[in-house]
Amino acid sequence: MNWFVQTVTSSVGKKAMMAITGLGFCLFLAAHLAGNLTIYGGRQAFNAYADHLHSLEPLVKVAEFGLLFFAAVHVITGLVLFYQNFAARPSRYAVTSSAGGRSIGSRTMPYTGIFLLGFVLYHLLNFHFVDKTGTTIYDIVSGAFENPATVAVYVCAMIVAAIHVSHGFWSAFQTLGANHPKYMPLIRGVGLVFSLLVGLGFGLLPVYLLAVS
Amino acid sequence: MTKSITLTLKVWRQQDPQSRGRLETYEARDISTDMSFLEMLDVVNEQLTLEGREPIAFDHDCREGICGTCGAVVNGRPHGPEKGTTLCQLHMRHFSDGDTIVIEPWRARAFALIKDLAVDRGALDRLIRAGGYISANTGGAPDGNNILVPQETAELAMDAAACIGCGACVAACPNASAMLFVGAKVSHLALLPQGHPEAAARATAMVREMDRLGFGNCGNERECEAECPKEIKITNIARLNREFLKARFFSSVR
Ligand code: HEM
Ligand code: SF4
Ligand code: FES
């Protein structure tokens, strides 16, 4: 087998792919959040941001295909890891107990991940693959969040995303070999702060739009 | 002060790899709190033998926490609830009269069950054979301190070399991964000058063998670090990841 294929299909290689694509999503989330905060500026500000983004069209397309590729790698590798890890212990323990290493995030990675996949598809159907003629993205978004059920789904999804990232962020550094006594506490702290920002930053937006509708 | 306690044990009994196992309940009477966990099992086994029943099979050797032969999962915790302790060094004073204790073998696809609590940890030997060594030419002995090793590096290598190969990390890992064991071996040798020439080949071969043997993938759950009787740190896993990626992308090893 080709050395490259052999490397990325090894256990450590698969984890490295999860880490690189996962950190890629974290960068995307940061940029997406920064853009979405313009919603607090009102209809004009948000539409202006969206227009500006789409004036960079070729770049946006490249980013979209990049994200799609990353998503394919992250999801497929994640599912393979989930299956392999399940198969690595054919007979389960009658009693399981944690010594304190695991966190809610680490325990639930595959489940929060699969939930996020469903959510991302739902989110894209809501706001990406919609007819935008004769309306603006602000109207589509604020219209959708007049429905409390939609708001509830989004708030839940953002809590799940925060949980996934609370483990994923530091874990990705460890996977790539970046565990250093001086920097690891910082990486862990940044991971927690980032997951809070993702949860609160994205989670409060639909609530705000519902409140002002 | 020595006390005597009585415990209810639920022990995994399985005749051989093929047959179905199940938890059987035994009473361990008048156990001195000065006994070790294995001595407690000895008492139960003596009783079982007197009753004409089959004693519980479990592995043990040094009984002083240095050989890595003993080990069972006690109430869901490999080597029991005490930190940095092997099962043979776990004392009954950490239990209370009337406690129920569930005792199970290490469970992992890579560790085939032999009987009751005894499992085949030959997979760890195969990992060592794949690369957990250095090749040295024999001949005149080199002078001591010919190769200088900084104190800090020597300490890190010694910490990694403290691994006794018990397999508790695999048993504790929710994914049955052997990354802490392999991380300890790769780190121990990669840190020292004697290990450098073969570092790339070693990291590559050991990870390949680990995957072939059917261990799971590390999820950075950190249960291994919390359960390891020698308190091997997951920084060794990060070093293994580093060594592996370096070997795959920056060395000529195929
Ligand atoms: C916004 C979306 C997402 C972000 C920001 C994200 C981020 C991350 C990060 C940073 C990691 C850590 C990698 C490592 O431990 O080395 C990770 C792991 C993981 N992700 Fe995601 N992820 C996202 C979506 C998904 C989706 C849709 C799935 C669906 C299957 C998924 C499944 C997993 C799994 C199973 C792991 C754990 C892999 C392991 O540790 O063995 N993630 N994610
Ligand atoms: S790393 Fe720790 S738990 Fe794993 S085999 Fe070595 S001593 Fe046992
Ligand atoms: S019997 Fe040797 S470490 Fe427990």
- Write out the two tokens for A91: 């007979």
Question: B80 by DSSP, 3-state: which?
Answer: coil
Handedness of CA A149, A151, A153, A155 (dihedral sign): negative
Overall average pLDDT of the A27-49 stretch: 93
By most ligand atoms within 8 Å of CB, the mutation choice from B37, B39, B58, B63 for ligand 3 is B63
Q: What is the pLDDT of residue A1?
A: 75
Task: Note whether residue A143 is domain-resident.
Answer: yes
For ligand 2, say whether the CB of B164 is within 6 Å of any of its atoms.
yes
Strand, helix or coil at B244?
A: helix
| Mutation test residue for ligand 1: of A10, A11, A25, A29, the one with most atoms within 8 Å of CB | A25
User: Residues 169 to 188 of B: which have CB under 8 A from any A CB?
Assistant: 172, 174-177
Confidence of residue B185 (pLDDT cuts 50, 70, 90): very high
Question: Each residue of A149-199: pLDDT tens digit?
Answer: 999 999 999 999 999 999 999 999 999 999 999 999 999 999 999 999 999
Beta-carbon separation of B222 and A101 below 8 A: yes
Residue A1 lies in a domain: no
Does residue A15 sit within a domain?
Answer: yes
The ligand minimizing its distance to the Cα of B230 is: 2
pLDDT of the residue at A23: 97
Please state the domain count of chain A: 1
* Average of per-residue pLDDT values in chain B: 96
pLDDT (mean) for A16-40 = 96
**pLDDT of A51-104, one tens digit each?**
999 898 889 999 999 999 999 999 999 999 999 999 999 999 999 999 999 999
Give the structural domain span for A160. 10-90+103-212
Q: A187 with A173: CB under 8 angstroms? A: yes
Q: Which tokens belong to B241?
A: 């990841």
Residue A203 lies in a domain: yes
pLDDT tens per residue, range B145-171: 888 999 999 999 999 999 999 999 999
Q: Say yes or no: CB of residue A16 within 6 Å of ligand 1.
A: no
Which residue segments constitute the domains of chain B, with CATH numbers given? 4-104 (3.10.20.30), 121-250 (1.10.1060.10)
Assess whether the C-beta atom of B229 lies below 6 angstroms from ligand 2: yes
Query: Is residue B245 within 8 Å of residue A12, measured between CB atoms?
Result: yes
The answer to whether B76 contacts A95, with C-beta atoms less than 8 Å apart, is yes
At B1 the pLDDT is: 66
| Structural domain includes residue A2 | no
State if residue B121 touches ligand 2 by the CB under 6 angstroms criterion: no
Alpha-carbon distance B220 to B203, whole Å? 19
Q: How many Å apart are CA A32 and CA A68, to the nearest integer?
A: 15
Task: With H, G, I as helix, E, B as strand and everything else as coil, classify residue B106.
Answer: coil
Q: Does residue A195 lie within any of the structural domains?
A: yes
